């Protein structure tokens, strides 16, 4: 599954969703994970809803997005698009978060995470 990380240094989960100009994208599975690229997002615009929508659209293929902080409206918009926002309170390195996520995937992922794993893999089986 594709996972996005809001980062301003490309190393740590340390950026607020609403201020992020780029997201590091990883493909994460129970046994393998790897960095696949960077999504740049449009940050101009007077309307906050448009800026949130721009970020959400750029992350449409992702199942999860890790952020340092996120506001309620942005979190609701992500969830409506079947992208689960997760706050990383410790501003951990992305590689540490990936390793922890893989551990959960190998052991016993909660139902919402099992459903997120299906995103983008088999059309029609997401719901």
**Coil/strand/helix, residue 4:** strand
What class has domain 2-118?
A: alpha beta
SS3 content of the chain, % helix, strand, coil (to 5): 30, 25, 45
CA distance 95 to 43: 26
Given this model, what pLDDT does residue 123 score? Answer: 46
Given this model, what pLDDT does residue 89 score? Answer: 83
Given this model, what pLDDT does residue 122 score? Answer: 46
Given this model, what pLDDT does residue 126 score? Answer: 40
Given this model, what pLDDT does residue 124 score? Answer: 43
**Of 88, 87, 92, 89, which Cα lies nearest the Cα of 72?**
87
Given this model, what pLDDT does residue 54 score? Answer: 78
Local confidence pLDDT in tens for the 127 residues of the chain: 999 999 999 999 999 998 898 999 999 999 999 999 999 987 666 677 777 887 888 899 999 999 999 999 999 999 999 999 999 988 999 999 999 999 999 988 898 888 887 775 644 434 3
pTM for this model (two decimals):
0.88
Question: In 13-125, which ranges are continuous DSSP H helix?
Answer: 48-58, 72-80, 94-106, 111-118
Residue 26's DSSP bridge partners are: 3, 35
């Amino acid at each position: 599954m594709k996972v996005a990380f809001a980062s301003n240094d490309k190393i740590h989960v340390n950026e607020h969703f609403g201020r992020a100009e780029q997201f590091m994208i990883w493909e994460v599975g129970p046994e393998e994970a790897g960095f696949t690229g960077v999504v740049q997002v449009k940050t101009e615009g007077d309307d906050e809803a448009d800026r949130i929508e721009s970020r959400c659209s750029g992350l449409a293929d992702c199942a999860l997005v890790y952020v340092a902080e996120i506001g309620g409206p942005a979190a609701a918009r992500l969830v409506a698009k079947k992208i689960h926002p997760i706050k990383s309170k410790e501003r951990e390195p992305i590689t540490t978060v990936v390793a922890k996520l893989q551990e959960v995937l190998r052991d016993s992922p909660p139902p919402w995470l099992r459903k997120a794993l299906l995103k983008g893999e088999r059309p029609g089986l997401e719901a």
